Structure 1
Amino acid sequence: MIIVIDGTNRHRYSRLLDKMFELRARVFGQRLGWEVDIQDGREIDQFDALDPAYVIGVDDDNNVVSCVRALQTTGPHMLSDVFSSILDGEPPLRSATLWESTRFCVDTEILGGGKVHGSISYATCELMSASLEYARDSGISDIITVIDPVMNRVLKRSDCAPYGYVGKTTPMGKVKAMAALLDCTDERINKTRQFAGIEGSVFVDAARAEALSDDGVLFKGSAKKAPKVVQRSAHTLLEEYCEDQIADASTLAELEAAQRLNHVLKEAKLLT
């Protein structure tokens, strides 16, 4: 089943987020060998401080078995600030209705089997379907996501093929990466559900959500503390964003646009 944790309820699920960060460390740091920052067994980056939404899968034993992060593209995000080489000189797409999906992972060690077709697991399809449904219901029309060729094949095999790509396929460490576009339509969601045989709601009900909270029966009395994500002020983030845009400008037009934005924000006293 799936639970969504975002800015409205994040304060109630620090322990579940802790488990999610541990899963990310196991998958991206240990299994895939990515160059990610792991501290105390948890993988957390600067984008986790920007109030993203997390779509998290939990099994019957309350293990976190899957997760994906959704972040708006109007501010700093991974494609614009980390994987910008994929864009091949093009400016990043930015829209209030276009969100970035990152850190998609499934715990294959805990789940073991459970394959729907070939190598694609039910948990993978459930997470894809849930993330699309959450996005659709939140007013998000499209998702952009940085994926490798393996995930690209998974999307195609599960009848959830991207409708387009941005930039070019680029070497990223041991793998290649590309930026894919997915629309959050009923048609796409229904195809993914049909492929995996998903019926009914994939989201936890109110009682299960309460049980999974820090004060719920699953964690009550536990002395374990979740890591704190360092929060930076909106002023600092805006300042860093403007500096990055000016520094990364590859054409005169991009530089002038970045400088105009910097000037407007200073006039509005949002920057010093």
Structure 2
Amino acid sequence: MFTITDRFNAISNAYDIHSFSELRHEIFINRLKWPLACPAGRELDQFDDQDAVYLTTMNSRGQVVAGARLLNTAKRSLLGEAFPMLVNGVIPKDPRVIDVTRFAVDHRSERTEGCGNLCGMLLCALQEYGLREGLDKYVSVSDVRMEPILRRGGYRFKRLGDMVEMDGTGVVALDVEISEEVLASARRRAKVTEEMLPLEVIRRAA
């Protein structure tokens, strides 16, 4: 099960955000060596503001082991502000188009033992969220190595522009479909048979 954290419950879920920032530091700073300025042991940036929405899940010890940050493109987005060169055409700016950022899955076996297919579960959670919120689609700035992962996860997507090499890595902007068909495919691939999000009504961040 994933937790949804937004402006309405950010205080009560402060630990979730803190633990997610530690996971982000492990993956993006320690493992992938992104040259980012951030607090010791945590990865945070200017997009971690009151409008950000987080989907996170924990292991049995209360450590976040998978998650993603969602940004409303009508307000601001990583794609629009930091990577507009990846889009051929108009930068998406619509409340029904969400920028998926900081997609993170823990790679440390001592933390993920017994957690199941975390990547597949996160992909299912994103589709559930998009459908419940009535979103049109997701966009994302992605390392090209994410494309085969998304395909294996049952996702359908297209590039919004040409690949650009950054720090020796190919980077692309993706337009990602949200649909019942993709959710069904993601669940089948991940062998997920239950809802990944709480059943209560999702609050749309204003």
Same fold (TM over 0.5): yes
Q: Which whole-Å CA distance do the structure 2 matches of 1:112 and 1:180 have between them?
A: 31
| Residue in structure 1 matched with residue 154 of structure 2 by the alignment | 159
Asked if structure 2 preserves the Cα contact closer than 8 Å seen for 1:57 and 1:66, the reply is: yes
Asked if structure 2 preserves the Cα contact closer than 8 Å seen for 1:152 and 1:161, the reply is: no
Letter in 2 for 1:103: R
Corresponding residue to 2:144 among 145, 149, 157: 149
Q: Which whole-Å CA distance do the structure 2 matches of 1:160 and 1:81 have between them?
A: 25
Q: How does 1:14-33 map to 2 (within 5 A)?
A: 14-33=14-33
| Residue in structure 1 matched with residue 43 of structure 2 by the alignment | 43
Shift of 1:76: 2.1
Shift of 1:122: 0.9
Shift of 1:205: 7.5
Corresponding residue to 1:184 among 169, 174, 178: 178
RMSD of aligned residue pairs (Cα, Å): 1.9
Pair 1:61 & 2:61 matched: yes
Task: Please say which structure displays the higher CA radius of gyration.
Answer: 1
Letter in 2 for 1:35: P
Asked if structure 2 preserves the Cα contact closer than 8 Å seen for 1:86 and 1:168, the reply is: yes
Shift of 1:37: 2.4
Instruction: Name the SS for the 1:42 alignment partner.
Output: coil
Shift of 1:91: 3.0
Q: Which whole-Å CA distance do the structure 2 matches of 1:36 and 1:161 have between them?
A: 30
Where does structure 1 lack aligned partners over 5 or more consecutive residues? 115-120, 207-272
Pair 1:99 & 2:98 matched: yes
Asked if structure 2 preserves the Cα contact closer than 8 Å seen for 1:54 and 1:68, the reply is: yes
| Residue in structure 2 matched with residue 111 of structure 1 by the alignment | 112
| Residue in structure 2 matched with residue 250 of structure 1 by the alignment | none
Shift of 1:50: 4.6
| Residue in structure 1 matched with residue 188 of structure 2 by the alignment | 194
Asked if structure 1 preserves the Cα contact closer than 8 Å seen for 2:7 and 2:50, the reply is: no
Matched length: 198
Does the C-alpha gap of structure 1 residues 132 and 205 become closer, same or farther in structure 2, counting only changes over 3 Å?
A: closer
| Residue in structure 1 matched with residue 120 of structure 2 by the alignment | 125
Asked if structure 2 preserves the Cα contact closer than 8 Å seen for 1:29 and 1:38, the reply is: no
Instruction: Name the SS for the 2:161 alignment partner.
Output: strand
Does the C-alpha gap of structure 1 residues 137 and 205 become closer, same or farther in structure 2, counting only changes over 3 Å?
A: closer
| Residue in structure 2 matched with residue 209 of structure 1 by the alignment | none
| Residue in structure 2 matched with residue 81 of structure 1 by the alignment | 81
Asked if structure 2 preserves the Cα contact closer than 8 Å seen for 1:101 and 1:143, the reply is: yes
Q: Which whole-Å CA distance do the structure 2 matches of 1:17 and 1:132 have between them?
A: 21
| Residue in structure 2 matched with residue 247 of structure 1 by the alignment | none
Asked if structure 1 preserves the Cα contact closer than 8 Å seen for 2:101 and 2:141, the reply is: yes
Letter in 2 for 1:48: D
Q: Which whole-Å CA distance do the structure 1 matches of 2:7 and 2:49 have between them?
A: 11
Q: Which whole-Å CA distance do the structure 1 matches of 2:30 and 2:129 have between them?
A: 29
Asked if structure 1 preserves the Cα contact closer than 8 Å seen for 2:156 and 2:177, the reply is: no
TM-score normalised by structure 1 residue count: 0.68
Q: Which whole-Å CA distance do the structure 1 matches of 2:171 and 2:114 have between them?
A: 27
Shift of 1:135: 1.9
Q: Which whole-Å CA distance do the structure 2 matches of 1:167 and 1:203 have between them?
A: 32
Q: Deviations over 1:170-204 (max 9, x none)?
A: 11223111111112211101100011110112235
